[in-house]
Structure 1
């Protein structure tokens, strides 16, 4: 019996002979040792044997433990009936929480003076400084990020670094650092207009009408606008007239007055473009002034002003008739647009959840050239949602910055790009037509547009005709696997008005499985017209990948870097310096420290800001744990689809950073942001099939 385990009986030509078979060697851990080539073929990272961990407990033991825990969970537990709370009760509890000692009034926290709050007893926050300080957690180690940058801290007593604050800091300039370094915030006036649906999009509406993309609700909207105009002009409802004037004042553009909008939209001449708006704005201002002066009894001055206004308007229109051609289109010629050269620039992709402003700042310090904000939904932006507008924030270090939006209809996208151009400082606007997430696709946006080329055309034409900023789009190869279609549209995309297109080398059905099809990306790049820049995207994880794609297809302007930057943000440095960086665990920790500092500046250094920074740090650590240090590999470089076996690092910190357990990610966060609150748990928002073992504990 012992010999039979080593030899196999093989039947050949009716004869039975014993043939010795050599089994694969086993390493010191008892696991079968394969060659690096065999491991790579199986998409397993070829880690040097001396760093491999012992195999985990047998699957049978794990299943028994899991079944036992499941059985215990099914047993009825006494006194665990969850009470359903009403909305009123939830609201009452929230107000009580705000009044608790843990929520000190921001104004009092800034100044340390109980009388600083103008609301006094009506304030919804606590004014008890002693109670707040008694329950406040201990200060964190290190210096306040605001004080370190030379600006007073806007959080005062609520700051978790209050012990490092300098005396005499002025509360009046407390937001100096944030205001000077971040832009594209949503103002209250604009937010109120969006909430009340009173923001007027004259440019977008005129473009949509000229392109025949007004939509089914256009006539209804026009009737409502006309009724508002009649009420405002007749003066029968003074309150409405005043509200109209206030809306125009709030938007800082008198072209948004109902009378002006009606004239612009209903005009038969489609030449109602930017050249005509200054005269209409002046007329609107004078009309308002005239009405005020007539009410005051100064009729003579009003008549003179009205005549001057009509004269100026007539002269302007005559000049426009001479200069402009009768059949002039609203669409801006591509050569008149602001262009951006993406050629060989390192482009950080817009990354949901993790691609926030602090992360982009980290990538800028490590060599990224182009950055883009997280994908924002057009409908949420038009509704004035502050959380969605936060995705458009830009830091002063981002010298070439764009925002990415996602919408399902031409009118929604056109109005959004007009609003962004008016309210934000951006270099380009990217339209996502490749997002595979179900909630986006089900609404007709994202990669579902790949099945509707006519809808794609309308969105790109409407957006590019509305704004002067370059419009770029991001797509996938197609919707269904094996049915690529971008190659048939690539020649038209440039004529529709896009200046650049990024092609992710996977279909929507593939999501992120399998390797990107770069041969198809090359094919699209060669078919594209010379005026359209084509960028590739997918699996760029080393400078060798970058060099290969750029050299194999010179028609590609650049490559977009997405998950590779999440796992190792120093990839930009590797590409620029053309080397494999065997980064140490301490250098990686320093990068995390920079991220925490940027996060505290962005989200705040108080309790809420610290925990928000911790949350997004943990989301990022759920990706960085996939990095395998160069010194541990038998084959270099690491590929994005490799899955590492359990291994030891070269030191304890490197071993900790390699863990795929959320409990270890929390330990890393505690090294940087102090102990987590009681009862704290974390589960990553984006779970990969190969990394679903990330559990708390």
Structure 2
């Protein structure tokens, strides 16, 4: 730790010396000085009451002028990322150059080991690769440190620390996307017997679905002042368009070539040489050995059923015992009561971050939101969001879709292909792209469709179904309290209520009084989980004591800013964490990231990217020892201040250049021409993870 502190004292970051956090609140016309204000006055203005000895003095150029000028936020400096087209990115990935060494040769260090020989799109010249390979990163290979044989071989950025280790199980991830399942989805040959049988019985397939959608939209548009005839016409057109879009996306197409080894990033255990030779179609150690017929039979349906929809099979499924409506015993399969629940978080809620939160005390984890249409198209990147680590002992996946048929088919598919403890359906996402597709919080305006989605999904699988909602779509028009008594009857095991409307987004504090009201109206069988602004163990205690019926609280932005909040809640204390302890947490994330995304150059830079995305939230944390009043509130903005050491000061900087500097302490120098801009622009304080 002393070495790093010394390095920070003499070195400069990407854009200069480490800068303290800047003032971030506009001052009113009345003169106001943060240096003279009391803690109460600062809190009233949503400013953090920093101890006076840690406040930065006014700039010399402002001497003799009103101090309120110092409250004006200075322009933020950072790194801007140039946007590349997907085609350009794909071309660069596949470009045959000396730096792109064949993965098989990298693992074996044998130029004759690649089965594709001269047809391989990767480089086979080991000496040319070594000449251009970047220097090794300081530290030990994360696989070797875990007593695993590194699957990246020569291409590993920690190659110098490799040693002979016998092949073993090593990888502890699961829910890998089966290649044959992907082929069936690509060719639109997958069948969903249980889902389609239930949809058919409820009149939610084909033309019946179009009529149902038309009636839903008619009711909604009538409430908004549109005539019934116009509403019906618009609804039918919308339904037909959706059907056509689904047909276009799943039409019969040629199967693409096998995925490249570097595209199947999350690793699977490398197969033995004899297994690879028995299946020449294998690439990069991905397990493709099972035939279509064997895989589909294992999942409960034959290839014939996958190719031709058998009416007799549908009729049989309709009377199958697995289609019982809402088996109440399912609710007993999962218990959220008093468990610390890490929310599904867009971009930052990846598997390495969830592993980190498990180490710090989280009980329940949930994968990032996956779009149903993308899953049904067989997109590997979307299926990667369902990946699970063995340390996640209570794990769920979150999906988002617009219609009962889309969602229920995905639910059936996940139940067959993945190992999960629950499936959460997002009905609260506020993102425009999702809402414009009639998904996420748009479903709050269509309660009958909400019912159909939950009813069909919960009746076809034994895996518990949960949903996540907001208070309403429009501000001031709360409606979950009128639906909460029915949600349990639909078949949901639990509901998470985010205490904000879609229109409100994150502009105001969460309405926990409304969450309490909904909790009291819920049926005893339905577990209710509150969500919004939980940032300390005192917040957790208050919500649990104010509403004993509340099963648990979901933690979202609080975990992004300080993932050790789970430790604080379990130990019932405010952890005055040091900069060294925080750096160790970043080191753990980097280690988990390299094991997940890879220890080669691409894996290192992917890990760096997600570390920087996370750092765009963590700079908001204000150390307990610097505050006059504790605990910190999530909406407090700090005045200009510095930390107790150089590293702590660097960690609280809102400059993207300083976040890059932190990443260089852990992952080495950034590549030449490196660019970064946070995806969520989270330094705006009122933006955050998906809803």
> What's the TM-score once normalised by structure 2's chain length?
0.77
Are 1:42 and 2:48 an aligned pair?
Answer: no
**Match for residue 301 of structure 1?**
none
Could you give the per-residue CA deviations for residues 100-154 of structure 1, whole angstroms, max 9, x where no partner exists?
A: 1010000110011111111111110001111111111110111111111111100
**Match for residue 310 of structure 2?**
262
Please list, as runs of the form range in 1=range in 2, the aligned pairs for 1:154-303 lying within 5 A after superposition: 154-167=151-164, 169=165, 173=167, 176-178=169-171, 181-216=172-207, 248-252=293-297, 253-255=300-302, 257-258=304-305, 261-264=309-312, 267=315, 270-273=318-321
Are 1:390 and 2:384 an aligned pair?
Answer: yes
Query: What secondary structure, in the 3-state scheme, does the structure 2 residue paired with 1:653 have?
Result: helix
Query: Structure 2: any 5+ residue segments left out of the alignment?
Result: 1-29, 63-67, 211-239, 248-289
Residues 62 and 642 (structure 1), Cα distance of their counterparts in 2 relative to 1, 3 Å cut = closer
Could you give the per-residue CA deviations for residues 383-437 of structure 1, whole angstroms, max 9, x where no partner exists?
A: 1111101110000000000000000000000000000000000000000000000
Offset at 1:256?
A: 5.3
Residues 561 and 264 (structure 1), Cα distance of their counterparts in 2 relative to 1, 3 Å cut = farther
Query: Structure 1: any 5+ residue segments left out of the alignment?
Result: 1-22, 70-81, 225-244, 275-328
Please list, as runs of the form range in 1=range in 2, the aligned pairs for 1:557-576 lying within 5 A after superposition: 557-576=551-570
**Match for residue 496 of structure 1?**
490
**Match for residue 439 of structure 1?**
433
Partner Cα separation in structure 1 for residue 91 and residue 682 of structure 2 = 37
Query: What secondary structure, in the 3-state scheme, does the structure 2 residue paired with 1:391 have?
Result: helix
Please list, as runs of the form range in 1=range in 2, the aligned pairs for 1:188-587 lying within 5 A after superposition: 188-216=179-207, 248-252=293-297, 253-255=300-302, 257-258=304-305, 261-264=309-312, 267=315, 270-273=318-321, 330-336=324-330, 339-587=333-581
**Match for residue 123 of structure 2?**
126
Residues 54 and 85 (structure 1), Cα distance of their counterparts in 2 relative to 1, 3 Å cut = closer
Query: What secondary structure, in the 3-state scheme, does the structure 1 residue paired with 2:345 have?
Result: coil
**Preserved CA contact (<8 Å) 2:193 2:314:** no
Offset at 1:211?
A: 1.8
Partner Cα separation in structure 1 for residue 422 and residue 686 of structure 2 = 37
Query: What secondary structure, in the 3-state scheme, does the structure 1 residue paired with 2:609 have?
Result: helix
Offset at 1:688?
A: 3.5
Residues 348 and 471 (structure 1), Cα distance of their counterparts in 2 relative to 1, 3 Å cut = same
Offset at 1:251?
A: 1.5
Are 1:52 and 2:55 an aligned pair?
Answer: yes
Could you give the per-residue CA deviations for residues 605-659 of structure 1, whole angstroms, max 9, x where no partner exists?
A: 0000000000000000000000000000010000001011121000000000000
Partner Cα separation in structure 2 for residue 215 and residue 437 of structure 1 = 29
Query: What secondary structure, in the 3-state scheme, does the structure 2 residue paired with 1:186 have?
Result: coil
**Match for residue 99 of structure 2?**
102
Partner Cα separation in structure 2 for residue 331 and residue 248 of structure 1 = 31
**Preserved CA contact (<8 Å) 2:326 2:489:** no
Query: What secondary structure, in the 3-state scheme, does the structure 2 residue paired with 1:107 have?
Result: helix
Partner Cα separation in structure 2 for residue 484 and residue 266 of structure 1 = 40
Partner Cα separation in structure 2 for residue 25 and residue 453 of structure 1 = 49
**Match for residue 135 of structure 2?**
138
Residues 137 and 246 (structure 1), Cα distance of their counterparts in 2 relative to 1, 3 Å cut = closer
**Preserved CA contact (<8 Å) 1:52 1:647:** yes
**Preserved CA contact (<8 Å) 2:528 2:551:** yes
Which of the pair has more CA radius of gyration?
1
**Match for residue 665 of structure 1?**
659
Are 1:621 and 2:611 an aligned pair?
Answer: no
Query: What secondary structure, in the 3-state scheme, does the structure 1 residue paired with 2:207 have?
Result: coil
Offset at 1:61?
A: 13
Please list, as runs of the form range in 1=range in 2, the aligned pairs for 1:626-637 lying within 5 A after superposition: 626-637=620-631
> Which fold has the larger relative contact order, with Cα–Cα distance below 8 Å and residues 6 or more apart in sequence?
2
Residues 218 and 260 (structure 1), Cα distance of their counterparts in 2 relative to 1, 3 Å cut = farther
**Preserved CA contact (<8 Å) 1:506 1:512:** yes
Partner Cα separation in structure 1 for residue 509 and residue 311 of structure 2 = 55
Partner Cα separation in structure 2 for residue 248 and residue 456 of structure 1 = 36
Query: What secondary structure, in the 3-state scheme, does the structure 2 residue paired with 1:257 have?
Result: helix
Offset at 1:247?
A: 5.0
Query: What secondary structure, in the 3-state scheme, does the structure 1 residue paired with 2:538 have?
Result: helix
Residues 146 and 266 (structure 1), Cα distance of their counterparts in 2 relative to 1, 3 Å cut = closer
> What's the TM-score once normalised by structure 1's chain length?
0.77
Query: What secondary structure, in the 3-state scheme, does the structure 2 residue paired with 1:462 have?
Result: helix
Residues 684 and 91 (structure 1), Cα distance of their counterparts in 2 relative to 1, 3 Å cut = closer
Residues paired across the two proteins, number:
566
Partner Cα separation in structure 2 for residue 345 and residue 91 of structure 1 = 42
Residues 459 and 256 (structure 1), Cα distance of their counterparts in 2 relative to 1, 3 Å cut = farther
Partner Cα separation in structure 1 for residue 654 and residue 572 of structure 2 = 29
Residues 598 and 213 (structure 1), Cα distance of their counterparts in 2 relative to 1, 3 Å cut = same
CA RMSD of aligned residues (A): 3.0
**Preserved CA contact (<8 Å) 2:616 2:682:** no
Partner Cα separation in structure 2 for residue 361 and residue 106 of structure 1 = 27
Q: 1:599 aligns with which of 590, 593, 601?
A: 593
Offset at 1:466?
A: 1.3
